[in-house]
Structure 1
Amino acid sequence: MEVFDVRLHLLWSDILIFLLVASLCAFIVTVVRNPLARKRWSQVFESRIGSASFLVILFYVLVALTDSVHFQKKLDQAGDSGEVHYAPEVTSLLDLALAPMLGRDEKTYSAPFAIHSFAKESMELPEGGVTRDYPRLEHGGSHLDDDSQHGADIVVKSMTVIGWTLVPVLILIFLHHSLMKKRSSRLPWPVIYFTFSAIVVVSSWALYMSQFYHVLGTDKVGQDVLYGAVKAVRTGVLIGTLATLVTLPLAVLLGISAGYFRGWIDDVVQYIYTTLNSIPGILLIAASVLLIDVYIETHPEQFKLLSDRADFKFVALCFILGMTSWTGLCRLLRAETLKLSQLEYVQAAHAFGVSRWRVIMRHILPNTTHLILIALVLDFSGFVLAEAVLSYIGVGVDPSMKSWGNMINEARAELAREPVVWWSVIAAFILMFVLVLAANLFSDRVRDAFDPRMSGSGDNK
């Protein structure tokens, strides 16, 4: 599809993430129409931790969505042939937002907010001769007339952007607070306001300061580390979500079937997940990823762009992770279903001739929802961390795709040098830590709201 001077380029992962968003919207509509479900979810968002962690997760998802609208820029025409050509590189809306960080590469490493290179180079003196010193960066702090202005310039610019950002945010919060005074709400608005303000201020500060400095430094080839860390958000969010959704149907179907029908069905399911658990997971994943690599190498005609190749491997990795990680939830659901199937109301339903699948849908599945939701969020966190580990050992996403695991893998050799190049690892660690922590805290609130044994324990936390 062509729009003005760009052509939209859809990747498989782009289609999947927007399908997930559509499914999530449909789920929200279902929850709103169901009074019981609405009451359960309101308990999640009425807790301070639940609301704050949800806003953090929502911010990561918005970044991932922005990075999932891809297009190719139109190239200048050569000659009068009239044939239109587009750039082989695929750009996203996030790249437009991060434009201040693009095209400002240095020669090699530079520390966060530095104005000189991290490594010494041989430099010619004006009066003749050669010396070894730290050369001035080409872009970082290039607006400074004097190096002595460095510290004061960072403070002044930071205070300026924080002030200009806080003013509209505080006005918006004041207007919303004035409106909400007329309505009764149990939502923890002070925590919501604070979290929203922190996200907006930190994001605005990083974007503004990146016009003048490399906020998180540069890597070995001089590329901005903050740009790579933010671009990796999409990889982390998608691999956690897609792999979890592959795991969920298998675990729910096989786990509940084994616990409810028992007999030979239970034996077959137990045999499958026991066999799968007997195979070292990392070896199974590595072997599957290597098979995908072989397929890509032997079918180059199917991947015209480098981004198509990287995206295919990424989607395949999500599927592989999901197919090899469903056994834990399956075993848990089997045990819970065995217990639920012996309860009086289930036995009464059988006595009245209710069909087995109706019993599963009306009694078994609703009473295992809390386990499924908790496992859903916890598996998300586990897959985000798994991607980092797999990329670190070389069997993760394609090296051309930005990911936290690739950042750590590329920086591991520099941790042994003196002085240590620490900012690439720290940048990946911080963004990954915040996402995983928010997901885990949110799962705790979901457990408190949906687990009948912990009803009310998560209020106002």
Structure 2
Amino acid sequence: MFNDIRLAFLWSDYLIFALVLALVAFVVSVVRNPLARARWSQVFRSRIGASSFLIIGFYVVIALLDSLHFQTRLEDTTGSGAEHYSPEVRSVLDVALAPMQGNDERTYSAPFAIYSFAKETEEMADGTIARVYPRLKHGGAHLENTSEHTADIVVKSLSVIGWWLIPCLVLISLHHVFVRNAASRLPWPVIYVTLTTIVLVCAWALEMSRYYHVLGTDKVGQDVLYQSLKAVRTGVLIGTLATLVTLPLAVLLGISAGYFRGWVDDVVQYIYTTLNSIPGILLIAASVLLIDVYIETHPEQFKLLSDRADFKFIALCFILGMTSWTGLCRLLRAETLKLSQLEYVQAAHAFGVSHWRVLMRHILPNTTHIILIALVLDFSGFVLAEAVLSYIGVGVDPSMKSWGNMINEARAELARDPVVWWSVTAAFILMFVLVLAANLFSDRVRDAFDPRMSGSGEQK
């Protein structure tokens, strides 16, 4: 089996694996630092913090599975013995979502429908021509009697939930016995409920997708649930990469301006004031159009469609980051101006401590809470920005699955009568859950790391 596939790595794959390694290194550093470990423990002892972290982790797992790409070997019909691979790049997530692929319909169909959403002209058994709602080729194809439609959905749903709930309860019981006497203050009931909900929803969606289109189909008959899950990688990566691009510029310029003041402060203020005076959407649109021109004039560098889409995606992340660092820079400048006047910083200067040690030991640690909160909030903002940019046609490549592309393609659907609502709803729900979890998690991080807070978020 493995001889018939070849691993295919995109630039965004390298980046997401590098982010995972960086995250592992960060966790190790936190574990070794008692103060940082105590701060982060406050986040995870919070019920909201623990639950939102698990939801974010679920999205990250989907993004990782969708970043393990490969190409399948084609059959050698020439007899030359040369190996040829499919130009289509697939991922491990595609394998996991196999029940949702290859079951395309002709056009729209509503969630769990067994008939098409649009009427078609068909020849009846008596030879007459009529406009009818035809049966779907795959949705509910196993039903011989359409009157059993509702009962079949209920029975199958209860069955899959029951079969998966039993092992979840067994594992929870065993774990509860194991940690009952352990010194742990984690909100285990909330963790149990969140993990069980995630497992049951995933199992139910995968099982029901074998018989129905759980979230319906789009204009060309493709499964909407499959598109929504494939868009998770785009949302997670664009939020993470664009946020990390803003971090070095904002931290370096913001702290330097607030600490050194004088001409350094004047230059930094001039830079971000000038950048803010340019309408952000126009600057992003112009940059994306330049990227499109480069791709069109250098086709030899993009042999596969996935290479083209991946290059434009990484460029968009860089553009968003380079145009969005000014807000965090202003906050860090203001906070550094205040911190640099405190007694312990003045005492360090009096004892001849170097500027570098003052910045690393006194200024940067006391601005960490602002950086962490801004990063999480910027993550949410970039996820939403991708949807807006794709809606106006300057987002990721149209061949790349994203929530913004789904919403953009569904614009005309909202003008239909009756309305085709499920494509927009699917993209909205998945995007809403991710952004809400990120915002709630940032609230708990603020409560734990802000020196002015008293840890009131510990039990929330």
Question: Fold match, TM over 0.5?
Answer: yes
1:321 corresponds to which letter in structure 2? L
Secondary structure at the aligned position of 2:71 is classed as: strand
Gap runs ≥5 in structure 1? none
Structure 1 segments, 4+ long, off by >4 Å, are: none
Q: Does 1:270 align with 2:274?
A: no
Aligned to 1:233: 232
Task: Return the alpha-carbon distance in structure 1 between the equivalents of residues 315 and 170 of structure 2.
Answer: 46
Distance 2:164 2:75 in 1: 38
Deviations 1:171-228 (A, max 9, x none): 1111111100120111000000000000000011000000000000000000000000
Residue in 2 that maps onto 1:128: 127
Task: Report the counterpart of residue 413 of structure 2 in structure 1.
Answer: 414
CA distance in 1, matches of 2:79, 2:413: 51
Could you tell me which residue of structure 1 aligns to residue 430 of structure 2?
A: 431
Letter paired with 1:350: H
Residue matched to 1:310: 309
In 2, the alpha carbon distance for the partners of 1:182 and 1:395 equals 56
Q: Deviations over 1:395-434 (max 9, x none)?
A: 0000000000000000011101100000000000000000
**In structure 2, C-alpha distance between the alignment counterparts of 1:26 and 1:289, rounded to whole Å:** 33
- Counterpart for residue 8 of structure 2: 9
Q: Distance in 1 between matches of 2:412 and 2:46?
A: 43
Q: Distance in 1 between matches of 2:314 and 2:276?
A: 23
Q: CA deviation at 1:296?
A: 0.2
C-alpha separation in 2, matches of 1:3 and 1:298:
37
- Residue number in structure 2 paired with 1:93: 92
Q: Which amino acid aligns with 2:144?
A: D
The equivalent of 2:144 in structure 1 is 145
Pair 1:394-2:393 in alignment = yes
Q: 2-side partners of 1:459 and 1:40: how far apart?
A: 10
TM-score by length of 1: 0.99
Letter in 2 for 1:56: I
Mapped to 1, the partners of 2:221 and 2:99 lie a distance apart of: 15
Gaps of 5+ in 2: none
User: What residue in structure 1 maps to residue 282 of structure 2?
Assistant: 283
1:77-136 CA distance string (max 9 Å, x none) = 113210111000000000000000000000000000000000001111101111111000
CA distance in 1, matches of 2:415, 2:126: 37
How many Å apart are 1:3 and its aligned residue? 4.6
Structure 2: which amino acid aligns with 1:395?
V
How far apart, in 1, do the equivalents of 2:167 and 2:298 lie? 53
For residues 306 and 269 of structure 1, the distance between their equivalents in structure 2, rounded to whole angstroms, comes to 40
Query: Which residue of structure 2 aligns with residue 444 of structure 1?
Result: 443
Match of 2:300 in 1: 301
Equivalent residues in 2 for 1:158-237, closer than 5 Å:
158-237=157-236
- Partner amino acid for 2:77? A
Counterpart of 1:333 in structure 2 is 332
Q: Using the alignment, how far apart are the partners of 1:375 and 1:34 within structure 2?
A: 23
Distance 2:284 2:78 in 1: 50
Measured after TM superposition, the shift of residue 158 of structure 1 is 0.2
Find the aligned partners of 1:45 and 1:409 in 2 and give their Cα distance: 37
Are positions 1:48 and 2:25 aligned together?
no
Q: Once structures 1 and 2 are overlaid, which stretch shifts more, 442-451 or 170-179?
A: 170-179
Q: How does 1:445-460 map to 2 (within 5 A)?
A: 445-460=444-459
**In structure 2, distance between residues paired with 1:205 and 1:418:** 31
Letter in 2 for 1:55: L
Q: CA RMSD in A?
A: 0.7
**SS of the counterpart of 1:215?**
coil
CA distance in 2, matches of 1:116, 1:443: 44
Deviates more, 1:79-88 or 1:31-40: 79-88
What corresponds to 1:249 in structure 2? 248
Distance 1:77 1:71 in 2: 19
One-letter identity of the residue aligned with 1:118: F
- 3-state SS in 1 of match to 2:411: helix
Structure 1: how far apart are the matches of 2:79 and 2:240? 48
Q: Could you state the TM-score of these two structures normalised by the residue count of structure 2?
A: 0.99
| CA distance in 1 between partners of 2:170 and 2:414 (Å) | 45
Task: Give the aligned residue type for 1:351.
Answer: A
Residues 13-32 of structure 1 aligned to structure 2 (within 5 Å): 13-32=12-31
1:119 counterpart residue number = 118
Letter in 2 for 1:94: L
Within 2, Cα distance between the matches of 1:309 and 1:168? 44
Letter in 1 for 2:214: V
Deviation per residue, 1:298-354 (Å, 9 max, x gap)? 000000000000000000000000000000000000000000000000000000000
CA distance in 2, matches of 1:77, 1:174: 54
Corresponding residue for residue 375 of structure 2? 376
Q: Distance in 2 between matches of 1:235 and 1:155?
A: 33
Shift of 1:459: 1.6
d(CA) in 1 for partners of 2:142, 2:428: 31
Q: SS in structure 2 opposite 1:122?
A: strand
